[in-house]
Each structure stands twice: as C-alpha cells, then as structure tokens.
Amino acid sequence: MTEVPPKNQVDATGPVAQNERSTERLDFEECMVLIRRCIRPDREQDFLAWHRAQPAVQREGFLGKTLTRLGDTSALPPGLNNFHLGSNPGCVTFIMVERWQSIEAFRAHVPNASTSDQDQFEAAPRQRVILSVV
C-alpha cells in the first residue's frame, strides 16, 4: 500500500507547499473571474447576438472565456441545488467565466473593459468575483 503524504507536504518536484505558498503575492497566480449578468428577459436574444458578435479578447494574460446561462435546477435534489447564483427573479442570469494568467493581468485589463452595453441589456448592475486557482 502506498502511503499518501500529508496535504501540505510535497517533494522537490511538486508544487509549493500550502503553508509556504501563503506568503507569495496572490497578484501573480492564475485566476478565474466570474461575472454575473442580470439580463432583461425581453433583451436575452439581443444580448446573445451582441455577445457572439464581440471580437476575441486580445489582452496579455487572457486565457479564454465561456458564457454560461443559469438553468432551472428546481427538479434537482437539495444536495445538488444549494449553490445559488441567480440574481433577481425579473432577469435571466448569465455567468461569464474568464481565465487569466494572473490577477495582475486581469487588473491591467479592467481600465480597457467596456461596460457600454450594461444599460442596454441588464436589469441590474453586473457583479464580479475573482477566484485564485490553487
């Protein structure tokens, strides 16, 4: 039987141990940015057409993005339906998932990111969260 090392213990070829990593600057770790958009139901198809027509992001450190739509999960058992991302009931919730090489790369992109479409499609201001990849 192979013995599994404790979670924070790694060999010389493995990643930095968690207790050592906590002293590193988080700005330079790969990250995921989740952007929740509350789209007006009467503008959903227009929003999707607008999204598909957008040019590819050409920014240093940008790794990719995926637009997702929150589906109806009411038929799922409670254990599979307890992470609520929905916004207000008067909108269709979309989550844009972006991957960046680092938080710093995303931060450098933010001043150039347009929000000109916000009033056009959204019923409420978009919300963002940054998740560090571990």
- The tens digit of pLDDT for each residue in 37-65 reads 999 999 999 999 999 998 888 889 999 99
Task: Please name the residue ranges forming H helices in the chain.
Answer: 18-21, 44-53, 103-109, 118-121
Task: Tell me the domain boundaries of the chain.
Answer: 27-71+86-132
Q: Kindly state the average pLDDT of the residues 95-115.
A: 85
Q: Give the residue carrying structure tokens 């040019």.
A: 55
Pick the CATH number of 27-71+86-132 from 3.40.50.1820, 3.40.50.720, 3.30.70.100, 3.40.50.12590: 3.30.70.100
Contact of 39 with 47, CB cutoff 8 Å: yes
Tokens of 108: 């450098």
- The tens digit of pLDDT for each residue in 61-84 reads 999 999 999 888 778 888 887 777
For residue 68, the cross-strand partners are 95
- The tens digit of pLDDT for each residue in 6-43 reads 433 333 333 443 434 444 555 668 999 999 999 999 99
